[in-house]
């Protein structure tokens, strides 16, 4: 019964991530045609930045999911902890909005190689992105509550609607505004606002007991940050490592090259919806089973890895073989010429990175977010000069190669550490496992 529930939730989760991807395949060519390569390059940066705005929650979203999954505390005590986390996340998002908005002008006029005529519009667009940060952090907390309560059906419908509108909205805004970049970004922010409101309503309907005590308790802040503290380091470093390649391309090459790199990146990283959907369901299951059933936790871990490999290996092979032909049909010969090698490299890296979702999620559920944080602290000073050197020497293909090298090292270390953290079989389990073959013989 539990396995069927997890499988159903994983399918719901996957559908909510795949549907926006399919819409994106149709929307991106229209946006490139309407906005032009320069404006579309800025839009890809905007999508990336909004996606990583949750770093300002300082790990509280993951801490909140684990707290509710384990059922630590009860009644008003748990509700108070949940409300405290939500208020903190929104407040931290507001701080992030102020910081980011104050840097918008510097990014548009100096840090990025934006054409002079496009710089004022880019600055306005970046300020709108800053306004979205509190909405993203609050939504992450509300989504964590629903995931911990295994409300993946309702959550997936809402996530699907948000993801589809994230691409349909900009297409409509671009056409109505005759290609205004700021109008497109404003539309994305409005969609995020509506999504945050919908998440809150859904929590109020499906988990009202967790919002019953609206007091902010200072006593709850310490336990939340003890778990979230290490995640804070990961949340600060990881998005920088994920996005620094596009920023460096924009700084040392051009925003047009950003478009040539980011478009294959957006395509191939969509494969990560599979491990993302799976670990989104497994994380609360890991948190619960590690407390009560170590054997079940080990089983979920190995099954999750097998499913990830079984689904992604053939998809990766298809992308590598048909990279040039696919880009030519979808976006034309010019994009294919510049981006097909990037697509091939990134496809291999995504396969490796997707497998690493399992050990990372397991370690977080086991209360070891410090492992991923320490790995990121080791990787960060190595990766920045590597990606800089490869971009300067080999352009956007060098950026792709640097990303593949980083995720491969990261995955190897995560699997090693997760293997050490897995619950060891009991003596009875060993005897039963060894008796099986002998009995059948």
Asked if the model's pLDDT at residue 437 lies above 50, the reply is: no
Q: Residue 433: is its pLDDT beyond 60?
A: no
pLDDT at 72: 47
pLDDT beyond 80 at 18: no
Helix (H), strand (E) at residue 245: helix 218-252
Confidence tier at 70 by pLDDT (50, 70, 90): low
Phi-psi region of 58 (alpha: psi -120 to 50; beta: other; left: phi over 0): left
Angle CA 96–187–169, to nearest 5: 130
pLDDT of 212? 66
pLDDT, residue 441, reads 40
Rounded distance, CA 314 to CA 321, Å?
11
Summarize pLDDT for 178-191 with one digit per residue, the tens: 888 888 889 988 99
Q: How much is the mean pLDDT over the chain?
A: 79
What whole-number distance in Å separates Cα of residue 245 and Cα of residue 63? 29
For residue range 167-179, list pLDDT tens digits in order. Answer: 889 899 988 888 8
- Residue ranges per domain, the chain? 2-426
> In Å, how far are 85, 309, 339 from 256, measured between CA atoms?
41, 34, 12
Tokens 């990261």, located at residue: 410
Tell whether the model's pLDDT for residue 242 goes beyond 50.
yes
Question: pLDDT tens digits, residue range 138-177?
Answer: 888 888 778 777 677 777 788 888 888 988 898 999 888 8
How deeply is 220 buried, as exposed, middle or buried, from its count of CB atoms within 10 A (0-12, 13-18, 19+)? buried
Confidence of residue 232 (pLDDT cuts 50, 70, 90): low
368-383 pLDDT per residue, tens: 777 888 888 888 888 8
Per-residue tokens: 296: 């079940």
pLDDT at 193: 92
432, pLDDT greater than 90 = no
Query: How much is the pLDDT for 402?
Result: 92
Q: Give the rounded percent of residues in the chain with a pLDDT score beyond 70.
A: 80
The residues, ordered by sequence, that sit 6+ positions from 15 with a Cβ below 8 Å of its Cβ are 156, 160
The 3-state DSSP class for residue 192 equals: helix
Residue 259 tokens read as 């478009």
Question: How far, in Å, CA of 129 to CA of 133, rounded?
Answer: 7
Q: Is 326 left (phi over 0), alpha (psi -120 to 50) or beta?
A: alpha
List, for residues 245-297, the tens digit of each pLDDT value: 877 887 778 777 787 887 788 778 878 878 887 887 787 777 777 766 777 77
- Using CB atoms within 10 Å of the CB of residue 105, give its burial: 0 to 12 exposed, 13 to 18 middle, 19+ buried: middle
> Is the separation of the CB atoms in 348 and 404 below 8 Å?
yes
């Amino acid at each position: 019964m539990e396995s069927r529930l997890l499988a159903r939730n994983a399918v719901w989760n996957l559908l909510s991530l795949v549907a926006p991807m399919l819409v994106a395949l149709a929307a991106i060519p229209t946006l490139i045609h309407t906005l032009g390569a320069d404006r579309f390059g800025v839009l890809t940066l905007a999508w990336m930045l909004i996606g990583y705005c949750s770093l300002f929650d300082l790990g509280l979203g993951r801490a909140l999911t684990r707290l509710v999954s384990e059922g630590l505390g009860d009644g008003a005590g748990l509700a108070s902890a949940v409300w405290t986390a939500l208020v903190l996340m929104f407040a931290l998002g507001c701080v992030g909005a102020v910081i980011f908005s104050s840097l918008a002008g510097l990014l548009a006029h100096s840090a990025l190689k934006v054409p002079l005529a496009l710089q004022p519009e880019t600055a306005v667009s970046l300020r709108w992105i800053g306004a979205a940060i509190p909405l993203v952090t609050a939504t992450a907390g509300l989504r964590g509550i629903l995931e911990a309560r295994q409300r993946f059906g309702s959550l997936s419908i809402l996530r699907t609607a948000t993801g589809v509108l994230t691409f349909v909205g900009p297409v409509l805004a671009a056409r109505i505004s005759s290609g205004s970049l700021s109008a497109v970004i404003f539309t994305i922010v409005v969609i995020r606002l509506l999504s945050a409101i919908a998440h809150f309503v859904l929590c109020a309907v499906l988990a009202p007991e967790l919002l019953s005590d609206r007091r902010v308790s200072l006593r709850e802040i310490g336990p939340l940050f003890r778990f979230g503290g290490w995640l804070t380091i990961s949340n600060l470093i990881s998005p920088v490592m994920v996005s620094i390649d596009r920023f460096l391309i924009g700084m040392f090459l051009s925003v047009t090259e950003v478009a040539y790199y980011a478009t294959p990146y957006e395509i191939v990283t969509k494969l990560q919806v599979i491990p993302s959907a799976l670990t989104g369901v497994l994380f609360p299951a890991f948190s619960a089973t590690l407390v009560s059933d170590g054997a079940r936790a080990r089983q979920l871990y190995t099954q999750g890895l097998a499913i990830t490999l079984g689904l992604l290996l053939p998809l990766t092979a298809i992308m590598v073989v048909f990279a040039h032909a696919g880009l030519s049909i979808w976006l034309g010969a010019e994009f294919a010429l510049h981006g097909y090698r990037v697509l091939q490299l990134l496809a291999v890296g995504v396969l490796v990175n997707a497998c690493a979702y399992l050990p990372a999620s397991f370690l977080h559920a086991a209360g070891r977010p410090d492992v991923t944080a320490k790995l990121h602290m080791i990787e960060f000073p190595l990766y920045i000069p590597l990606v800089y050197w490869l971009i300067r020497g080999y352009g956007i293909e060098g950026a792709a190669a640097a990303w593949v090298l980083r995720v491969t090292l990261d995955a190897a270390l995560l699997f090693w550490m997760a293997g050490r953290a897995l619950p060891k079989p009991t003596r009875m389990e060993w005897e039963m496992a060894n008796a099986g073959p002998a009995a059948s013989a």
